[in-house]
Amino acid sequence: MPFIRKLIQDAKAGHFTAVYLVLELIAAGITVSAADPLTCYRSRLVILSIHTVPYPPPCSPSSTATTSTSPANASSSLGCKAGRWLCCPTTTAAPYFQLRELERDAGLIALSANFALYGDMSDRMMSLAAGLGHNQEVYSIDESFVDLSGIRGDLVRRARTIRKRIHQWIGIPTCIGIGPTKTLAKLANAIAKNAERKPGSYPAHHAQICHLGACTPEELQALLQATEVGDVWGVGRKIGAQLRENGIHTALDLQRMSPAAAKAGWSVVLEKTVRELGGTPCIEFEDEPPAKQQIACTRSFGHPVTELIELQEAITEFACRAAEKLRKQGSHTGQIMAFIRTSPFRQQDPQYSRSASIPLPSPTSDSAHITQAANAIVKRLYKPGFKYAKAGVMLMDLQPATREQLTLDFDETMPENRVRLMLAMDQLNQRYGRGTLKLASAGAPKAMKLWAMRQEQLSSGFTTDWRGLAVAGRCACKVPDE
C-alpha cells in the first residue's frame, strides 16, 4: 500500500514518527510490507484504520500559534457507534474491552499510554514552534500561542518554514493559524486543519497555513459564515445550543452580535469572544501558565481491588504524586478530597461510589501530611464486599507557599527540616526515576500491586528511556517496489 511505502521511506529518511511506527509494527510481530493495512497512532489508547487516517496522523499548531492533536473520524470505518470515539484526550472514549474484538476482526493495534514519551515529544515540538515569534504561551500538551507582534515580512512563509522544520525534525505534521486575536488565531487553526482534512469545508488554499489577517473583509466574512457557532473557541455545547435558539448559527452571526447583549444574556466571557471575533484583543497573552486552583491525581486500577490496605497503597501513591505537583508550582493546600468507586461497566457487581473532603489545620505541601489526611478519608469511605476500580486524590483551597497562616498550635506544622526533606525527595525521584524514594504506606517497591495500571502494550520510551533506544541494525526495512 502507498501508506506503508511512504512510512518506510520516511523512516529511512530519519523522521522520528515514521521510525517509531515501524518499530511498533515490528515489535507487535507484524511484517512491514506493502500488503499490511495497519497503522499505529500514539495517544492514550489508539486504534486507527489506514483507510480513514492518512500518514502522518493529523496534528495542528495554531498561531498566535496553536498546536493541537486530534485523530480523524476513524471510528466510522470500524463500526463504532456514535459517541464511541476511539480513546484519545479530546474525544469521548469507549472502554477498551468494547473494542478488543477489532484487533482480530479489523487488523488493528492497541497501545497503552506512554505519558513520558508524549510529554517529551510535546516539549520538542513546542521548542520549535516558539521560533515563530518572540513570546510563547503553551496552552496544553499539543497547543501553543506565539506572539507575532512586531515581526516583519511574510508571516505565511515564516509559518511554512517552521511547519516544515517541525515535520522534518520530529515527524509531527502541524497546521498553523494566524490572526489578530487569540480567538481568531484559534479559528484560523481550525480552518487550516479542516481545509486539509475535510475538502470542501473551506477553500483549499487555507490548508495547513491560514492567515486571517491577510484576508479581505469579504473573504473573512465567507470563512466566518462557513463556521458553526459551536466551533468557535469559548463557545461550548450548551451555550452553542442557546445561541442557535436565539438565531445565531454561525461565527459571522456571533461576530455581529452586540457585545453588551452577549454580556447581559450570557457572560463576560462570551462578550470577550464577540469582541475578539471583531478583531479587538481581549484575552491576555500569558507568558507563564497561571497556578492551578486544584490539583488531582486519579487512576483506574489494573485489576479490581477489595482490601483496604491495597486502597491505601494506591491513595498514598496518588497523594504523593499530587503533592509533588503542588510543590512544583510553589503552592500549599488547605483541603484534601479523596474518592473511591467501583466500575460502572461491571453491572454484574454491586455498585458503590463515595467521596469526602477534609480541611487541614494549616496549609501544607508535605507529602506525609497530605497522605495521612487522604488515607483517613479512604478509611472512612471504605466498605468491604465491593470490587473497587478507581480512586483518586484532589488538592483544593490552594494558595502560594509564601503565604503563611499562623495558628495557636505551638508545634510547627511544617518546620524547615521538613521543607528540605520534601525538596530532597523530589530531587532524588527526578534524578533516579519516580518511585525511587516514597512513603512506606505505598507498599514494598517491587511487590505485585493489583491497583497498578497493567500497560501490557506499552510502547518503548524511544526518547525518554535508555532501555528503549532503537538499536541500529535490528530493523531492516526494505522499501517495496513501485
| Residue range 300-333, pLDDT digits in tens | 888 888 999 989 989 999 999 999 999 999 999 9
Q: What is d(CA 56, CA 77) in angstroms, rounded to the nearest whole number?
A: 18
- CATH number for the domain running over 295-403+411-442: 3.30.1490.100
Dist CA 140 CA 37 (whole Å): 32
Buried-exposed string 221-250: b where 16+ CB fall within 10 A, e elsewhere: eebbebbebbbbbbbeeebbeebeeeebeb
Q: Which helix (H) or strand (E) holds 21?
A: helix 16-27
The Cα–Cα gap between 138 and 250 comes to 28
CA pair distance 91, 136, nearest whole angstrom = 26
Contact status, residue 142 vs residue 123, Cβ threshold 8 Å: no
Provide the residue-wise pLDDT of the chain in tens; the chain has 482 residues. 455 555 555 555 545 555 555 555 544 444 444 333 333 332 222 222 222 223 333 333 333 545 444 433 333 333 333 322 232 233 345 666 677 777 677 766 777 777 778 888 889 999 999 988 888 888 888 889 999 888 888 999 999 999 999 999 888 888 999 999 999 999 999 999 999 888 889 999 999 999 998 999 999 999 999 999 999 998 988 999 999 999 999 999 999 999 999 999 999 999 999 999 999 999 888 767 777 889 999 888 888 889 999 899 899 999 999 999 999 999 999 999 999 999 988 888 999 999 999 999 889 999 999 999 999 999 999 999 999 999 999 999 999 888 766 665 555 555 667 888 888 888 888 887 777 777 877 776 655 676 666 666 777 777 777 777 767 665 544 444 44
Q: Where in the chain is the domain with CATH 3.30.1490.100?
A: 295-403+411-442
Bridge partners of 135, per DSSP, are: 147
pLDDT in tens, 39-89: 333 222 222 222 222 333 333 333 354 544 443 333 333 333 332 223 223
Give CA–CA dist 63/65, Å, rounded. 2
Per DSSP, helices labelled H in 268-329 are 268-277, 308-328
Neighbours of 268 (CB within 10 A): 11
Q: Cell triple for residue 283?
A: 484575552
Pick the CATH number of 120-277 from 1.10.530, 3.30.2250, 3.30.10, 3.30.70: 3.30.70
pLDDT digits (tens, 9 = 90+) for 386-403: 999 999 999 999 998 887
- 176: its cell numbers: 498553523
Sign of CA dihedral 403, 406, 409, 412: positive
Residue 50 confidence (pLDDT): 25
Residues in the chain: 482
Whether the link from the prior residue into 69 is cis, omega within 30° of 0, is no
